[in-house]
Amino acid sequence: MNLIESKAYRLIEPGEITEVMLQHEFRSGEVVIQPTLASVCHADLRYYTGQRRENALKEKLPMALFHEGIGEVVFTKDDSVKVGQRVVIVPTIPERLLHDRESKETERSIEDNYSKNGVFLGSGYDGIGQSQLVLPAENAIPIPKEIPDRIALLAELNSVSLQALRHVQDVLQEGRVAVFGDGPVGYLTAAMLHYMFKIPKKDLIVFGAVADKLEQFEFASTYLVDHFDFKQYPDVTTVIECTGGRFSEHAINQAIDLIEPQGKMVLMGVTEEKVPINTRDLLEKGLTLYGSSRSTAKDFQQLMEAFRDPTYQRALEKLLPEHDYPIHHAGDMKKMMDETAKHKGWKKTIMAFEW
């Protein structure tokens, strides 16, 4: 076992980032990754702006933010990963891979992303905002040479969509598929349905609230939710909800109005508040609802194959900004987060680390 020193940009309290030195144990079966690119998730912004519940902030801070990232392997103690490889970082570390936690055997098979005693980078566990990230080798997915860095960076957000779609992949061809949400998650989910699951434009419906955003969904039929008659639109048998926040209530209930009897819905949108839903029609229609959160290494592996497709890459590029934020010190990171919080755009915010 070795000790690895890592320079980390830790969020101490909302709005305050400071540089600290961390020490990580480096054991057999692990790799050390130097992050090169990371992107900002809404979850990162909720921590940074203090929009999480007070008890959650007290429990999880201080910590280094970010769970969407790629990097280069600088040390390895596992034959499956080589020094110098570009890798996508899988932020879910299940209990079975944590050396300091005794895994409890159970008769039930639980997916890694729902492991109760696992950890997740940037959520109560220091994330990608540090110079030397020590992870199980399973959490480092090699990036094929055909995939540019900035496309590979979108793997984590896409992996969440792929994990969600696994719940309904066997029924996607039974009727029309509707996606609620015109933000990045909605866009990537709809793009995945088209390019990976081969849902044609005529059978792929996207509902949103902003016309300019919906124009980006060239591979889907799009509608504004205002004044749309959800009860009269036929043949939708699968719905993916990607709104979250204060829009969740409207989207879920509109989806219940829209969907055919015995249809299936997957809920992906995160909200801090409880959401009232129309249980009468949900029961009357015999609907199935799935909750889906985060992802696993196998999702990333599948995406690395799918991302080889140049046509898919061009669709993904729409979420990439013109410029990245170079990060040399904690002040750069604070400036980047302040600007991102103030000007929440449709495209991702990307930081390029200069260690």
Give the Å distances, CA to CA, from 193 to 79, 166, 266.
35, 11, 13
Kindly report the CA angle at 120 between 114 and 124, in degrees rounded to 5? 120
The pLDDT, as a whole number, for residue 245 is 83
- 136-186 residue pLDDT tens: 999 999 999 999 999 999 999 999 999 999 999 999 999 999 999 999 999
- 272-291 residue pLDDT tens: 789 999 999 999 999 999 99
Instruction: Write down all domains in the chain, each with its CATH number in brackets.
Output: 2-154+320-353 (3.90.180.10), 159-291 (3.40.50.720)
Q: Read off φ and ψ for residue 169, nearest 5 degrees.
A: -60, -25
- 286-322 residue pLDDT tens: 999 999 999 999 999 999 999 999 999 999 999 999 9
Give the Å distances, CA to CA, from 135 to 33, 215, 303.
8, 40, 20
* Average pLDDT, integer, range 224-239: 95
Residue environment code for 279-303, b if the CB has 16+ CB neighbours within 10 A, otherwise e = eeebeebebebeebebbbbbbbeeb
Residue 161 exposed, middle or buried by CB count within 10 Å (0-12, 13-18, 19+): buried
Rounded CA-CA distance 23/2 in Å is 10
Decide if pLDDT at 102 tops 70. no
Decide if pLDDT at 103 tops 60. no
State percent of the chain over pLDDT 90: 85
Angle between helices 184-195 and 155-165 (to 10 degrees): 60
- Pick 240 or 51 by higher pLDDT: 240
Among candidate residues 241, 223, 242, the one with its CA nearest the CA of residue 233? 223
Among candidate residues 39, 14, 42, 38, the one with its CA nearest the CA of residue 269? 42
The pLDDT, as a whole number, for residue 106 is 56
Q: What is the pTM of this model?
A: 0.93
The pLDDT, as a whole number, for residue 107 is 61
